[in-house]
Amino acid sequence: MGCLVVHTISLAGQVSASASTVLVTPQTLDEVMGRLAAGGDTTYVVNFWATWCKPCVAELPHFDKLYREQRDSGVVVLLVSVDDPKELTKKVAPFVRRKAYLPQVVLLNESKPHEWIDRVDPTWSGAIPATLFFRNGRRLFRETEFTFEELRHELKEFMKGSP
């Protein structure tokens, strides 16, 4: 169950900084949250979604667009799939390859939702889509489906609160 690797080429035609980007990375929630905590001044927009969730799939292009628009201002978008980890190669990776979104996709490598949902946010019921904004320990959690305008608005408001 290895990772699938593709090469991303920047608009300038050069191979991007990391030389290659992993298409879908299985990670535990600790790994995801640890990355946010270590991110310093980076603003993270973390969207929880699944291939089986229609409103999530409808919303993903907004996160892609947001990332394309905001990546130069220190914003990282992470698309965290809560699909069954067993469906990485059969379902999630093909979906991600087909869609070719720019933000990194993580497949949450957890099997007991009741153990990790509260660690994302205590107010989360577990319904998806849901989105966590995170910067330097500051967080904003939204259990909702966004239009692109709403998403950009939330990010702008969140970033206003940053020193």
Partner 1 sequence: MRMMLAFLAASVISMVPVTAADLPDGVKPGDIAPNFILNNVDGKRVGLASYLDAKGVILVFTCNHCPYSVKYEDRIIALHKAFGPKGFPVLAINPNDTVVSPEDSFAKMQERAQEKSFPFPYLFDADQNVAKAYGARRTPHVFLLKRTPKHFIVEYIGAIDDNPNDANAVDEKFVEKAIAELVDGKPVTTQTTKAIGCTIKWKK
Q: Applying CB under 8 A, which of residues 52, 74, 99, 148 lies at the interface with partner 1?
A: 52
> For residues 140 and 76, what is the distance between their CA atoms, to the nearest angstrom?
15
143 lies in the binding site for partner 1 (CB under 8 A):
yes
117 lies in the binding site for partner 1 (CB under 8 A):
yes
Q: Applying CB under 8 A, which of residues 26, 39, 74, 126 lies at the interface with partner 1?
A: 126
The residue assigned the tokens 């992993």 is: 22
Q: Applying CB under 8 A, which of residues 28, 89, 111, 162 lies at the interface with partner 1?
A: 111
Tokens coding 89 = 């190669």
26 lies in the binding site for partner 1 (CB under 8 A):
no
DSSP letter, residue 72: G
Run of H or E residues at 9: none
Q: Applying CB under 8 A, which of residues 6, 37, 55, 89 lies at the interface with partner 1?
A: 55
Q: Applying CB under 8 A, which of residues 20, 89, 147, 162 lies at the interface with partner 1?
A: 147
Sequence-separated (6 or more) residues with CB below 8 Å from residue 8: 15, 16, 20, 21
- Give how far the C-alpha of residue 88 lies from the chain's centroid of Cα atoms, to the nearest Å: 16
129 lies in the binding site for partner 1 (CB under 8 A):
yes
